[in-house]
């Protein structure tokens, strides 16, 4: 293990070369790249190219730098927008992701967005930004907690730092709509599903260089979930131990890893587990009404609207009498069904739609 090390040459045109940590193999590698440059016309930018060493002696480092003409780079560094490091990913290294999410939230004019509009941004933009990082390495739990907290505040309050009550717990919102949720991505589970794809790659994509390296020095003919390696990078350890997430769900690791194709989305659904469908799912699933009203309906079904009885319990208001009939306390049941004013509206709406109810309330 100590005899062989990785040297990465990262070029401005996104080409990467790896070699053994000795001058002979590096010379061969460099000559191959020079041949490739002559054929393709792609040349390495000397000003933007660096060599990153791991466990290579100072003498060999200097020979490689002199031979290639590149400068020496230091770990950690950023590549394609994400930090690369030989050690465990720290919270400070994930700060660019947090800052980027904060920047997006700050640029949105949230005071003109409804709950449904914010929900769409959380699902399509914020979750996608985190998902890109999750597909590369296992994210620290504190970072995921911070991002999740920002998404919560943005959804319910309209900004990243506002204080207010969440109408529905986040865990419920992460379930599918048929199960009573809003299908928001569970960041913790999605990260696990993405790491499991790396394990599947170890079993199926044996033509990739990093996979060949792991097989040569760690697996040595064994399956990834059968190996207990102590002297390895934190990321390799996490990939090799990822099979335990399947075992916790009562699944056979061998069967999953032997599948022809692997989908992070399908694995995410597997890790989420089975769920019970709610009886009112047809009211919100595939509802063609305005998303704004569908979201209000969803909150009303959970009995979490800001009715006067709830506001009074929180100490926000004192008068909890229904503003429509001025007779009883305003609750969900009263506001939509028991209030005389509401009954008249329901009666006129049903007559207009030519719907006859079996029993008029």
The model's pLDDT over 230-287, given as tens digits with 9 standing for 90+, comes to 777 788 888 888 888 998 888 888 888 888 899 999 999 999 988 899 999 888 888 8
Which structure tokens are listed for 254? 């061998």
Buried b (16+ CB within 10 A) or exposed e, 184-214: bbbbebbbbbbbbbbbbbbbeeeeeeebeeb
pLDDT of residue 39: 84
Q: Token match 């009995």: residue? A: 303
The edge-to-edge listing of strands for the beta sheet with 71-72 is 16-19, 7-10, 50-53, 71-72
Pairing mode, strands 50-53 and 7-10? antiparallel
Pairing mode, strands 82-84 and 77-79? antiparallel
What whole-number distance in Å separates Cα of residue 63 and Cα of residue 65? Answer: 5
pLDDT of residue 53: 77
pLDDT digits (tens, 9 = 90+) for 115-127: 999 999 998 888 8
Q: Is the pLDDT assigned to residue 106 strictly greater than 50?
A: yes
pLDDT of residue 315: 84
Q: Measure CA of the first residue to CA of the last residue in the chain; give whole Å.
A: 80
Cβ proximity of 269 and 190 under 8 Å:
no
Which structure tokens are listed for 97? 């992701």
The closest of 4, 7, 20, 12 to 65, measured between CA atoms, is 7
Q: Is the pLDDT assigned to residue 196 strictly greater than 60?
A: yes
pLDDT of residue 258: 87
Q: What is the helix (H) or strand (E) element at residue 269, kind and residue range?
A: helix 264-272
Q: Is the peptide bond before 27 cis (omega within 30 degrees of 0)?
A: no
Q: What is the helix (H) or strand (E) element at residue 244, kind and residue range?
A: helix 243-248
To 10 degrees, the CA torsion angle through 265, 269, 272, 274?
A: 180
Q: Is the pLDDT assigned to residue 300 strictly greater than 60?
A: yes
**Which of 42-51, 92-101, 246-255, 326-335 has the lowest average pLDDT?**
42-51
What whole-number distance in Å separates Cα of residue 268 and Cα of residue 246? Answer: 11
Q: Pick the residue with more confidence: 329 or 32?
A: 329
Q: Pick the residue with more confidence: 21 or 343?
A: 343
Q: Is the pLDDT assigned to residue 172 strictly greater than 90?
A: yes
pLDDT digits (tens, 9 = 90+) for 52-102: 776 778 888 888 787 777 788 877 777 777 777 667 778 888 888 888 888
What whole-number distance in Å separates Cα of residue 157 and Cα of residue 207? Answer: 49
Per cent of the chain over pLDDT 70 is 87
In angstroms, what CA-CA distances link 239 with 29, 89, 223, 226? 29, 14, 12, 12
Mean pLDDT over each residue of the chain, to the nearest integer: 81
Q: For residue 314, what pLDDT band results from cuts at 50, 70 and 90?
A: confident
3-state secondary structure of 77: strand
**Which of 101-110, 286-295, 330-339 has the lowest average pLDDT?**
101-110
* pLDDT, average across residues 15-42: 64
């Amino acid at each position: 293990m100590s005899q062989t090390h990785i040297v990465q040459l990262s070029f401005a045109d996104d080409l990467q070369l790896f070699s053994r940590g000795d001058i002979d193999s590096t010379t061969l590698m460099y000559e191959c790249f020079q041949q490739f440059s002559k054929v393709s016309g792609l040349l390495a930018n000397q000003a933007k190219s660096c060599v990153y060493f791991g466990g290579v002696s100072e003498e060999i480092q200097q020979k490689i730098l002199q031979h290639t003409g590149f400068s020496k780079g230091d770990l950690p560094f950023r590549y394609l927008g994400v930090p690369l490091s030989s050690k465990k990913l720290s919270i400070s290294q994930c700060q660019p992701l947090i800052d980027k999410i904060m920047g997006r939230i700050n640029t949105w004019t949230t005071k003109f967005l409804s709950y449904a509009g914010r929900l769409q941004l959380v699902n399509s933009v914020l979750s996608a930004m985190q998902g890109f990082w999750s597909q590369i390495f296992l994210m620290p739990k504190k970072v995921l907690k911070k991002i999740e907290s920002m998404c919560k505040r943005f959804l319910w309050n309209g900004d990243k730092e506002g204080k207010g009550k969440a109408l529905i717990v986040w865990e419920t919102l992460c379930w599918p709509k048929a199960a009573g949720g809003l299908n928001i991505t569970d960041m913790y589970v999605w990260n696990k599903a993405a790491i499991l794809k790396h394990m599947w790659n170890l079993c199926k994509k044996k033509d990739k260089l990093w996979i060949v390296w792991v097989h040569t020095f760690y697996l040595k003919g064994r399956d990834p979930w059968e190996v207990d390696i102590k002297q390895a990078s934190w990321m390799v350890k996490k990939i090799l131990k990822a099979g335990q997430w399947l075992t916790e769900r009562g699944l056979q690791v061998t069967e999953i890893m032997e599948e022809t194709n692997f989908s992070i989305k399908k694995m995410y659904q597997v890790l989420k587990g089975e769920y019970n469908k709610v009886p009112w799912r047809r009211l919100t699933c595939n509802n063609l009404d305005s998303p704004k009203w569908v979201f209000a309906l969803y909150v009303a079904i959970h009995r979490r609207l800001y009715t006067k009885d709830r506001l009074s319990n929180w100490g926000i208001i004192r008068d909890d009498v229904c503003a429509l009939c001025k007779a009883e306390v305003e609750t969900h049941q009263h506001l939509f069904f028991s209030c005389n004013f509401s009954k008249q509206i329901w009666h006129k709406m049903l007559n207009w739609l030519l719907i006859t109810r079996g029993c008029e309330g």
